[in-house]
Amino acid sequence: MTAEKKEVQKQPASTPVETERTKLRRVFVPKVDIYETKEALVLLADMPGVDEKSVDVTLEKDILTLRGVVAPRAYKGYSAGFAEYREGDYERAFSVSEEVARDRIGASVKNGVLKVVLPKAEPAKAKKIAITAG
């Protein structure tokens, strides 16, 4: 067997699709790495400040959406004089092909990195159709 290699092209990050915000908060598009294994596609999204309670991954109509909410930090007895790190929410959406087994998608988050595993679907097997007289 020969190993098949696929060329990966770097694409610019896009804004979330079809969303309207009602909060006056910044929304960042998280940086994402996607790699492929024999069994799955793996997506790693940088979302500093999120944990398992503040991140949401949904799949609806072939669109995988990642959302993360970061609570603003309040320092008791202090007011911010200068801040280089800006807080805000995260949102990004991806189209999912038919090659993904939707019922087996899994996600985990650790240290602000969201990992989404998109298992590959089994290839359709040939099926013998019984013929009856009629």
**How many angstroms separate the CA atoms of 110 and 130, rounded?**
51
**CATH says 27-72+85-119 is which class?**
mainly beta
What are the residue boundaries of the structural domains of the chain, listed by start?
27-72+85-119
Is 19 a residue whose pLDDT tops 60?
no
Looking at residue 111, its pLDDT comes to 93
pLDDT tens per residue, range 75-123: 788 877 777 777 889 999 999 988 999 999 999 999 999 999 999 988 7
pLDDT band (50, 70, 90) for residue 11: low
> If you ran DSSP here, which 8-state letter would residue 39 be given?
S
Looking at residue 104, its pLDDT comes to 93
At 112, list the tokens: 């602000």
Phi first, then psi, for residue 104 (nearest 5°) are -115, 15
